[in-house]
Structure formats: structure tokens, C-alpha cells
A and B are shown apart, each in its own frame.
Chain A
Amino acid sequence: MSMISVSGLTVTLDGRDVLRGVDLDVRRGGWLAMIGPNGAGKSTLLRTLAGVLDGQGEILIDGTPSAGLSPRRRARLVAFAPQTPALPPDMTVFDYALLGRTPYIRYLGRESRADREVTAGVLDRLDLGGFAARRLGHLSGGERQRVVIARALVQQAPVLLLDEPTTALDLGHQQQVLELVDRLRLADRLTVLSSLHDLSLAGQYADTMTLIAGGATVASGPPAQVLTEELIAAHFGATVKVAAGPDGRPHVHLMRGDR
């Protein structure tokens, strides 16, 4: 049963077709990693799924056409963590995470006790309980990324959209963040869509992958089908060696040019 189903999605920005007839399908509880060269349209696709941008074509979220959803209804189904989230430096971690309750609060309403409890619960679960009173400006890169994920989880949406969640993180923090997402996905049966620029990392965590280039879907399937030397050479212009790791998942190694 697919949780997100996109067919023939075209998005035009400033008169340019950034996405041209993209199709994709993510099963409930699955993790789809989108890869592709810079400017391929990955962020545009995620932002369109989050309702930030409008496009032509069909997007079904849990079987419901996204176009017919009010922003609040959509926000209860889909949570979005952008690549470079704006983090007001004076806002506390708790207040930032609490913003995730917005789709459940009336326009001029205020958060209920239950909203605060959900938020506190998520922070505790992500080991951020001790950070609740910390200001966003005083967090490290890894903490910041976890706080953004906390905000998305507080939204309690079954779909999590992550735009490059590991950017600007060192190796250890990249792994921690992705392990965290995977743990949450399995525990809560979340459906995850993420763009990831590190191909090996994408191949490690995702169960399906989509290669987007020039605004169109070029290849889709399990990591071994998408991470091939030919496809990477053709669309990234990179010379790589792909080898199966001990878990059978493909590892991508960058090769130096002919010498």
C-alpha cells in the first residue's frame, strides 16, 4: 500500500520547468532516498510534497489527493524538515519543537496541555529533555538537526520529508541522525522521503531510491538497481566503483581519473 504516490508532477519556477513529469511511489513505512546532481530538483520535489510549492500532476498522500487538502490537514499528514531551517537564535528548544503542534491549534488559539505533553515526550525520546530551556543559538550542528527532527515528530504526521538531513554534519553525527530516523521509522511506521547527497549513506539506509536528473526521474528501485557505475557516470559525471558491502548493500567509491 503506497503512502505517497506521485505521477506526472511538473513544477514551474520563474518560467522554468524544474520538475518535468516526475513519478514516484513510497510504500507505508518505507524509506525513499532521492539522489541526483545539484539542481536536479530534489528540494523542489520535497517542497512541493510539503505544500510549499504548487505543481501540476497528481500527488496522493495516503490515497487522498494532496491538492484537495487544506494546509492544516496536509500538515497533519506530512512533516517537513528543510535543508537550512530558520532557527530564531533566541527561541528555546521547547518552544521550537512546540511549533510542530501548529496544525492542531486554531488560528488564534493557544497550545493545550496535551500539546505541551506531546512536545515534552518527543524531546525526552530524542534525549533532548535536558535541552528544553536551551536557546537555539547555543546548539551545535548535530543538536540543531535533532531539534529540527523533534519539531517534525511533534507534528505526529505519518510522512517525514527530510531535505539533506546530514548537510554540515561530521561523519559521526551523520550516522547518528540517520540511525535516529531509521529507529523512529521502524518504531512508528513512519514513511520517510529524504534527499541525500552522500550516495553510500543513501544506499545504506533507504529501502528504495530514486535518481532525479534534469527534473525527471531517471531510475527507481532498490539501491542496487539505482547505484550503478553507469548511471552515476551518466548523471553525476563521476567515475566511481560500486561494490557490494557485507550487508549486500552497494557502496560507492570515488575513483581518481585515468592516470
Chain B
Amino acid sequence: MTHSPSARQGRPRHATAPDGQARASARLRPWWVAAALVVLLGSLLAGLLTGAADIPVPGVVLQAVDWLPFVSADHGLTPVEQGVLVELRLPRVLIAAVVGGLLAVAGAGYQGVFRNPLADPYLLGAAAGAGLTVTLAIVLIGGDAGAALVPPMAFGGAVGGVFLAYALGHTARRGGTATLVLAGVAVTSFLTSIQTFVQQLKVEELQRIYAWILGDVGGGWEDLRLVAPYAAFAAVAMLLHGRMLDVLSVGDDEAVSLGVRATRVRLAVLLAASLATAAAVAVSGLIAFVGIVVPHLVRRLAGGSYRVVLPLSLIGGAAFLVLADLVARTMLAPAELPIGVVTAFVGAPFFVFVLRVTRRVDT
């Protein structure tokens, strides 16, 4: 073909040579995972070290080492210091990690389903849908029963929000990466307005709702226990679909001609991503842009295959939100910024950047 005859005789064996094949194929390299885990552990430790109470650094580090299985260390912390660490800081960094990981992996999933790098749980209306239904649970049902209903209500709302945005974007029939996001913004505004209306009906719950809307990861162990099963299920379901999302990336027609029921894959990933979003939203409120920033950075660093993007987004998102929470806690100390303010401050400019990059590819 384009090779000269002599080149054809000395036919390159790259594809068949094992090392060449490893380079040619996007696979999750162990050192990427290791690097991401190091970053995550570093940010978790930084999160544990920072706070209003002055706890000695070596003590925290030794305590963290002591928590590791099969290792014990003498941390020398007072019971009060230990209490702050175990009851306040540890659950807080863990919730931030879980929420960040879920939002990032959900963002990556939505991006695969819609083949749209701008898809994000917040921008797609998933978060607003969950916000509305959770508000309804708090306002209309209230009390312990309402609190217990938060996770399923958030899930229903998240799925509903995404389907609304998708249906709206679909009827616009313009395709394009921006249409879906515009539809998501419209759905978000609409659902948020209903939510505002509902919360005004019951002003006495206002503070509770607001604290939740602005995003907060200080819920403690109870919150963590509440979402853990949903989070674990959603994350595993997402990670299992990496190969299928890669098949979808060549378009529906080809996916179908390759024997894949594209609609079914879409639906499965959509539900898993919405469950992840709902689990995140149920404990932390509405936090935007994690789902765009993290998967996009992963793509730039490690390639576009969803088998790589999904697991690294999970770990990277966890680290990202722990660090965002760290900034939120320390910027105006002793006062706290809502964590959503930090992610939006970083994420919105990033969104514009991704928009510019994808425009170039689109045209």
C-alpha cells in the first residue's frame, strides 16, 4: 500500500510483538493507578492534618499508620485529639473522597453515554433533579422518615433530571455537544425554581435545605454508612462497563453492527451514573464540575479509553474533592466556604477550556 516493496519485505512486527501490543492498546497501567492512589493518600492525609483543633502532625501521621491493617503505632494523642480525628476529620475526608469519586465517575459515564465531553451530573440536571426530590422529602415528609427517604428520592430525581434533559436535547434535534448541555441547564433552572418554591412553603426548614444545597461533606459516620452500599454498587457497575463504553464511542450504528444492544448499554450506564450522582448528592448536596474536571484531566494524562478513564476518575475525583474541601475549610478559617464554591471556581474556567478544545474537534 503506502509502504515501498522493501518495507513490506521487512514487515514490521510491532502488532504481534508483545511489547508493541502493550503500547498499542489502552490498558490500565499499574503505575497510573499507583500514582493516583499516592495522590489520594496524600490528600487524605493533608485533610486529616488540617482543622481548627491544633493536633500535632506526627501524632496524626502515626494514628493514620495505626489504622492500617496489621500495623500498630503509638500515636501519643490525647483522647480529645483522637476524638476530633475519628469523629470529625476522618469521616469528613472520607465523605469528600466518596462524593468526589462518585461525581467524577458519574461524569465520565454520562460523557460516554452521550458521547459528549461536557456532560456533568450537575449540568445535566441530575443534581437538580435529586435536589428537588430531596427537598420534597425534607419539606413534605420531614423528620426521620424524610431523612430515610433521601437516598431513593435522590436517585429518582437524578434519573428524572437526566431523562428530561436528554428528551429536551433530543427534540431540539441539533445533535451537537452543546445542545444537551443547554437542555441540561434549562432543566436545572426549571427544577431549581420548583425547589425554591417548595422550600419557601416551609421557611422553618430553610436552613437545613440551604446547608444541604450549597454542598457540605461534614455529615459524619452516619451519612457515610447511609450511602456506602449505593456508592459501592454504582461504582462497581460503572467500572464494569468500561469496555462497553469504548464500543459505544464508535457510534450507535457500528455498536449495533458489532452485536451490542446500544440502547441497553446506555440505559445501564445511565442508571449506574445516576445512582452514583444520587448517592453523592444525598450526602453532600449539589457540587458542580467535579464530573468534568477530573475525567478530562485523566483523558489528557492517560488516554481516552473508558477502561482507563473510569477507574482513574474514581480515584482522582476522590483526591480532588478532598483537596477542594481542604481549601474550603482553610481559605476563610475559622469560617468555612461551601465546597461547591471551590469546585465551581476551579471548574467553570475549566469548562470553558474543554468547550474550546471540543469545538476544535467538532468542526
Contacts and interface: CB of A to CB of B under 8 A. Distances in A.
Contacts of B15: 94, 119-120, 123-124, 128-130, 132
Interface stretch (A103-111, A194-202, A240-248): A103-111
Interface string B245-284: 0110111111011111100000000000000000000000
B1 A176 contact: yes
Contacts of A78: 257
Contact of A116 (B1, B13, B21, B244): B21
A210 interface: no
Given A51-B257, A85-B251, A142-B2, A124 B246 contact: no
Q: Which of B25, B246, B258 has the most CB of A within 10 A?
A: B258
A88 B259 contact: no
B259 A102 contact: yes
Nearest to A110: B243
Interface string A72-91: 11111011101001111111
Interface stretch (B41-49, B144-152, B297-305, B312-320): B297-305
B259 A130 contact: no
Contacts of B2: 127, 142-143
A124 to B, nearest CB: 6
Given A94-B15, A124-B13, A127-B11, A99 B251 contact: no
A74 B250 CA distance: 19
Interface in B120-162: none
A52 interface: yes
A133 interface: yes
B239 to A, nearest CB: 10
Nearest to A79: B257
B259 A132 contact: no
A217 B243 CA distance: 40
Contact of A50 (B20, B23, B256): B256
Contacts of A94: 15, 21, 24-25
Nearest to A161: B257
B304 A88 contact: yes
A75 B25 contact: no
A187 to B, nearest CB: 16
A133 B24 contact: yes
A92 B26 contact: yes
Interface in B1-41: 1-3, 8, 11-16, 20-21, 23-26
A35 B73 CA distance: 79
A129 B7 CA distance: 12
B53 interface: no
B250 A85 contact: yes
A99 B250 contact: yes
B361 interface: yes
B258 A133 contact: no
B114 to A, nearest CB: 14
A132 B257 contact: no
A55 interface: no
Contacts of B1: 126-127, 142, 146, 176, 180
A91 B305 contact: yes
Given A94-B21, A95-B25, A142-B1, A82 B16 contact: no
Given A102-B260, A127-B3, A82 B24 contact: no
Contacts of A76: 259
B240 interface: yes
B331 to A, nearest CB: 36
A147 to B, nearest CB: 11
Interface string A152-177: 00010000000000000000000010
A132 B20 contact: yes
A75 B249 contact: no
Contacts of B260: 71, 102
A47 interface: yes
A129 B16 contact: yes
Contacts of A85: 250-251, 254
Contacts of B240: 108
The 3 residue pairs across chains A and B that have the minimum distance between CB atoms: A75-B259, A90-B304, A94-B24
30 contacts: A52-B252, A52-B256, A71-B256, A74-B259, A76-B259, A78-B257, A86-B251, A87-B250, A90-B299, A90-B303, A91-B26, A91-B305, A93-B24, A95-B246, A98-B25, A99-B258, A105-B243, A108-B244, A119-B15, A120-B16, A120-B21, A123-B15, A124-B15, A126-B1, A127-B1, A129-B14, A129-B15, A130-B12, A132-B15, A133-B20
Given A99-B250, A127-B3, 11 more contacts: A50-B256, A70-B259, A74-B259, A82-B253, A82-B254, A86-B251, A127-B2, A129-B11, A130-B14, A133-B24, A142-B1
